[in-house]
Amino acid sequence: MNTDKHGFYFSYLCLFMFICGQIFLCIFCGEILMNIIKVNSVQREEMIDITREVEYIVGESSVKEGVCILFTQHTTCGLTVNENADPHVKSDMLGFLRGLIPQFYEGFRHSEENSDAHIKSSLVGSSVTVPFQNGKLFLGRWQAIYLCEFDGVRERSVLLKII
Amino acid sequence: MNTDKHGFYFSYLCLFMFICGQIFLCIFCGEILMNIIKVNSVQREEMIDITREVEYIVGESSVKEGVCILFTQHTTCGLTVNENADPHVKSDMLGFLRGLIPQFYEGFRHSEENSDAHIKSSLVGSSVTVPFQNGKLFLGRWQAIYLCEFDGVRERSVLLKII
Amino acid sequence: MNTDKHGFYFSYLCLFMFICGQIFLCIFCGEILMNIIKVNSVQREEMIDITREVEYIVGESSVKEGVCILFTQHTTCGLTVNENADPHVKSDMLGFLRGLIPQFYEGFRHSEENSDAHIKSSLVGSSVTVPFQNGKLFLGRWQAIYLCEFDGVRERSVLLKII
């Protein structure tokens, strides 16, 4: 648990550093915007809150009401919406999934030792969709948007499309 | 199983009552519509069919072809599309998931005794997307849209966005 | 594994045959296009790559930037995005899920002996959303779009909506 806690604070530090340097590659095409959020994981398994980055992009957009579609371009991480308050929810989720879908399972034949991450990726899903209005995401009181890293340490790309 | 059956009928009764009182908070913004469907669960775990509510809103919309995006504003329930005929499918799904991801698991540290519900919520997902045309959802013959309650009894909000 | 390998090549053969005959039922409505991709599974459990079919439709579309929404009209299969290179990833995923959610589980009461497929369908999800630009899907280097068959042999319909 100690290393989890350490990783927790460390991930916040790294997140802060990389938010500063994140690339908002905006491609204007009529009224539609495409952005890329870069996320850097610091552990093999980690839930990284990207709500502020998403809110920032949605807030800057000229579209006043619509949906924000996030899509990750990887096969060993996922995107989800879950609790933003108690960090134990994140560690409970990652810990339980680690037990349920172990990295080293005798039946796995894929040679990269990350079949567990591919499975978790498909179960959690590669995209999330969140409605917004007047630059504010319609998230519930306890909701945050997470990139779920299942095979870090890596840099991940999340595409953000406003419709 | 008896209590499940009882809950099944009771949930229909409650659903009927709350359909009558549900709030269709329509916010017009150009051609885009935002609605909220209120859903009341009566058990801790329950799959509540919201297809008729969604069809009603899509049918009333001025948009003739597009997609209907549903998003739940909570972190201990989910949205899914699954079988609309045999109620055993619902009880098989909830029962199997209850065994797979138990409420009381020694590793959980989140103090609200609902880490299982957070995990199920992320696995099932917080949104569903269904295409429609001429006011009719493009659902298959056996498909219905469900709110999956994993930590009831609660009132839940489902946002509906037509694009 | 031999039968898996056999099924693997056989599925490619069948896929090729059915791609030739697939129905692109295009319904024009303003700028929005609706297509149907027909997919034929040849095993009970199978991940069928439909990326080329999706890319073809997106490439032919007059919409230059947007998102491509895929929706399956069934309750015992799913749609996912995962690795396109090593076929062991697919067999690892299907094999692990088969062990985790067995077809014959004593608690199942649904009489069609496919409750496992209904559960997997809701966990994997009935839709995927992929951004695109200038007729090219924004898939990552290792990503492909799969129909996950959990209760074949069947013909499946995947709706494709460009927004």
DSSP codes of every residue in B22-38: -----EEETTEEEEEEE
What is the pLDDT of chain A when averaged over all its residues?
87
Mutation for testing the C interface, residue in B5, B67, B120, B142 having most C CBs under 10 Å: B67
On the question of pLDDT at A28 being above 60, the answer is no
Tell me the shortest Cα–Cα distance from A120 to chain B, in angstroms. 9
On the question of pLDDT at B151 being above 50, the answer is yes
Using CA coordinates, name the residue in chain A closest to C134.
A29
C-alpha span between B98 and B102 (Å, rounded): 5
pLDDT attached to residue A15: 52
C-alpha span between B49 and B80 (Å, rounded): 10
Q: Is B6 exposed, middle or buried (0-12, 13-18, 19+ CB in 10 A)?
A: exposed
- Does the N-terminal peptide bond of residue B81 adopt cis geometry, omega within 30 degrees of 0? no
Question: How confident is residue A150, by pLDDT bands cut at 50, 70 and 90?
Answer: very high
Q: Which portions of chain C are predicted below pLDDT 70? A: 1-33
In this predicted model, what pLDDT tens digit does every residue of B105-150 receive, in sequence order? 999 999 999 999 999 999 999 999 999 999 999 999 999 999 999 9
Q: Do A74 and C142 touch (CB under 8 A)?
A: yes
Encoded tokens for C27: 């319904």
pLDDT attached to residue C3: 52
**Tokens 């990389």 label which residue?**
A18
Residue in A32, A71, A115 nearest the CB of C89: A115
In this predicted model, what pLDDT tens digit does every residue of A72-114 receive, in sequence order? 999 999 999 999 999 999 999 999 999 999 999 999 999 999 9
Mutation for testing the B interface, residue in C114, C118, C147, C156 having most B CBs under 10 Å: C118
Asked if residues B98 and B49 have their Cβ atoms less than 8 Å apart, the reply is no
- DSSP line for A77-89: EEEEEEESS-HHH
- On whether any CB of chain C is under 8 Å from the CB of A67, the answer is no
Q: Sign of dihedral through CA atoms C12, C95, B103, B110?
A: negative
Strands of the sheet containing C65-72, edge to edge, are: C27-29, C32-40, C155-162, C65-72, C127-133, C136-137
Which among B49, B65, B60 has a CA at the least distance from the CA of B26? B60
Q: Is B135 left (phi over 0), alpha (psi -120 to 50) or beta?
A: left
The DSSP bridge partners found for residue B144 are B82
Which chain C positions have a beta carbon within 8 Å of A75's beta carbon?
81-83, 89, 140, 142-143
Asked if residues C75 and C154 have their Cβ atoms less than 8 Å apart, the reply is no
Which chain C positions have a beta carbon within 8 Å of B81's beta carbon?
75, 122, 126
Q: Is A90 exposed, middle or buried (0-12, 13-18, 19+ CB in 10 A)?
A: buried
In this predicted model, what pLDDT tens digit does every residue of A39-66 receive, in sequence order? 999 999 999 999 999 999 999 999 989 9
In this predicted model, what pLDDT tens digit does every residue of B49-102 receive, in sequence order? 999 999 999 999 999 899 999 999 999 999 999 999 999 999 999 999 999 999
- On whether any CB of chain C is under 8 Å from the CB of A157, the answer is yes
Asked if residues A162 and A58 have their Cβ atoms less than 8 Å apart, the reply is yes
Which chain C positions have a beta carbon within 8 Å of B124's beta carbon?
122-123
For A110, which DSSP code? -
pLDDT attached to residue C22: 36
Interface of A with C in 23-62 (CB under 8 A): 27, 29-30, 32, 34
Using CA coordinates, name the residue in chain A closest to C88.
A110
What is the model's pTM?
A: 0.83
Specify the higher pLDDT residue, C53 or B28: C53
pLDDT attached to residue B34: 85
pLDDT attached to residue A34: 85
pLDDT attached to residue A31: 45
- On whether any CB of chain C is under 8 Å from the CB of B95, the answer is yes
